[in-house]
Amino acid sequence: MRLKELREEKKISQNKLSKELNINVMTYNGWENEKVEPNINTLCKLADYYQVSLDYLVGRDFGNDLGYVTELQMNFIKLFLKLNERKQLLAMGEIARIAAED
Question: What digits encode the pLDDT tens for the residues 72-99?
Answer: 888 898 899 999 999 999 999 999 999 9
> Residues 51, 68: contact at Cβ < 8 Å?
yes
- What's the predicted TM-score (pTM) here? 0.59
Average pLDDT, the chain: 89
- Choose the CATH number for 3-57 among 2.40.50.100, 1.10.287.180, 1.10.260.40, 1.20.120.350: 1.10.260.40
**Average pLDDT, integer, range 52-81:** 79
**Contact call for residues 68 and 52 (beta carbons, < 8 A):** yes
Give domain limits for the chain.
3-57, 71-100
Q: Is 70 helix (H, G, I), strand (E, B) or coil?
A: coil
Q: For 6-15, what is each residue's pLDDT tens digit?
A: 999 999 999 9
User: How far is C-alpha 58 from the chain's CA centre?
Assistant: 11
